[in-house]
Each structure stands twice: as structure tokens, then as C-alpha cells.
Amino acid sequence: MEVSKKIKETVIEGEKKDYGDLIDKAKDEGLSATDIVDIMAEAMDIVGDKFDKGDFYLPQVITSANAFNGILEIIEPDLREDISGSGKGKVVIGVVEGDVHKIGKNLVSTLLDAAGFSVVDLGDDVKSDEFINTAKEEEADIIGLSTMMTTTMSEVEEVVDRVEEESLNEQTKTIIGGGPCSQEYANEIGADGYAKNAQKAVKEVSEILEV
């Protein structure tokens, strides 16, 4: 099997192994780090589609994301040399204060990374101040806000409000996601975008930034 197909299959199947040999072979065949990321991005697209259609469930997506991150870790030094500039745009992402459900946010983070965005992942239980200050420092194009709990939806709204109050909204757009969120809710609180799952989050960010 040609090495690009093998990389793609490794990510889709979420194979856990020493990825060093695979990457060495890829390099021997002349693939650059960015080529490998492109192949993995295609694989994660397929994984996202399968999740969207109900063919894949959360554990399968997590293993794929783990394989993606495992390979990424190996090629990261080469990748830094390959990529100049900030890619498609910068996204500051996190789970809002009071909520520690981070699986969905982690997947969005991985897929955005795979799609060529620069991601600043703040983790979970993130205070609104931290979202705003980081967005300012990093000159973020997008703030991604995640919550899985109805009871922390007000935190999402608070960050969206503060983006507007502090006049960040010319530079920085907001996108929300997680179980209780909806397009209706995004419209109601004035968020710029909503995504039902990780796959759609990448699409939404790309559309907002027109990249």
C-alpha cells in the first residue's frame, strides 16, 4: 500500500502504534510535513463525515484524533519549517467557566488544526476574562466557545457580549457549540456562528473567515 494511503487509513482507523516508521517512509517517498498534514486532514474529514452520518461514534472519533495528534507530534518540528505565516487564521478555543466537558472541544481543536488553522486551546472551565485577554493578545480571528451544560450557557453569552462591548467584534468573530446550543440560541445572543459538531465547526469557521 502506498504510504499516503497508509497514513490516511491509520488516522481513519485510529491505529495506535509507533508512527515513526510510517513517517520515515513518507519522508523517503518525498512527502513533506505539510503533505502529511493534508493527508491527515482528508482522513479527519472522512471521520467527521462518518460521525455526522452516525457511522462512527465518539470512541472511534477519539481514537482517530489520537492517531492524528500522535503523528502531528512527530512531524511538528518539520512542520514549523514548512509553514510560514499564520495559515488560514487564528482560533482561540475553550470550554466556558463551570463546565469541564472537553471531548467535543478537543475534537474541534484537532480538526481546526488539521484544516490549517492556528489554534490556541485554553482547555476547560475557562473564565470569560481569559477568552477576551487571550483573543486580544493573540489577535484572534475567532473565539470558539463550547458548553455541554444548559446551566453554563449564560457563560457563553457573557463572552459573546464582552466581545461586542470591548469592540473586538470587528477583528474577532464568535462561534458556539455543544449539546444545548443551537442556531436559534446563537442568533439570540448574537454569536457569529454555530456548529452542531466538530466537522461542521471547521466548515463554519472557514465560511466566517472566507478561507
Partner 1 sequence: MKNEMTHLKRSKVALKGDKPDKVPVFSRDLTFPLDVVDYTTPEVCKGGAGGTFDAEKSAEAVIKSQEEIGHDVVLGSVWDLGLASDVYGGETKFPEYGIPRVDEAAFSDNLERVEDVDPINFREDGRYPGVLESYEIVSEEIGDEVGIAVNIQGPVTEACLMRGTEKLLMDMMERPDLAKELIDLATTNIKNFIEECFEAGANLTTFLAASNDGTEVLTPQFMREFSLPKIKEIVEFSHDLGYPVVFHPHGVFTEPEHHELVDKSISTGIDGFQFAEDNDYEFAAEKWGEDVCILGGVSIKDAILPGPVSKIENEVKKRLKDCAKDGGYIAMAACSLHRDTPVENVRAMTEATHKYGEYPINL
State the nearest-atom distance from the C-beta of 81 to partner 1, in Å. Answer: 32
State the nearest-atom distance from the C-beta of 140 to partner 1, in Å. Answer: 26
State the nearest-atom distance from the C-beta of 209 to partner 1, in Å. Answer: 27
**Per CB under 8 A, 111 contacts partner 1:** no
Distance, CA of 41 to CA of 36 (rounded, Å): 8
Across-strand partners of 91? 119, 142
Distance, CA of 155 to CA of 96 (rounded, Å): 6
Binders of partner 1: how many residues, by CB under 8 A?
29
Q: Which stretch binds partner 1 (CB under 8 A): 41-49, 58-66, 75-83, 135-143?
A: 58-66
State the nearest-atom distance from the C-beta of 104 to partner 1, in Å. Answer: 10
**Cβ of 139: how many Cβ atoms within 10 Å?**
12
State the nearest-atom distance from the C-beta of 94 to partner 1, in Å. Answer: 15
C-alpha cell at 178: 455543544
Quick one: 97 or 141, whose CB is closer to partner 1? 97
Q: Could you tell me whether strands 118-121 and 90-95 are parallel, antiparallel, or unpaired per DSSP bridges?
A: parallel
**Per CB under 8 A, 100 contacts partner 1:** yes
Residue listed under C-alpha cell 510560514: 84
C-alpha cell at 179: 449539546
**Per CB under 8 A, 183 contacts partner 1:** no
Quick one: 58 or 211, whose CB is closer to partner 1? 58
Distance, CA of 65 to CA of 104 (rounded, Å): 11
Q: Which residue of 188, 190, 207, 211 would you call a contact of partner 1, by CB under 8 A?
A: 188
**Per CB under 8 A, 161 contacts partner 1:** no
Across-strand partners of 175? 144, 193
**Per CB under 8 A, 99 contacts partner 1:** yes
Question: Considering only CA atoms, which of 167, 179, 48, 43 is closest in space to residue 102?
Answer: 179
CB 144 within 8 A of CB 108: yes
Binding site for partner 1 (CB under 8 A): 16, 54, 57-60, 62-63, 66, 98-103, 106, 125, 149-151, 153-154, 179-182, 184-185, 188
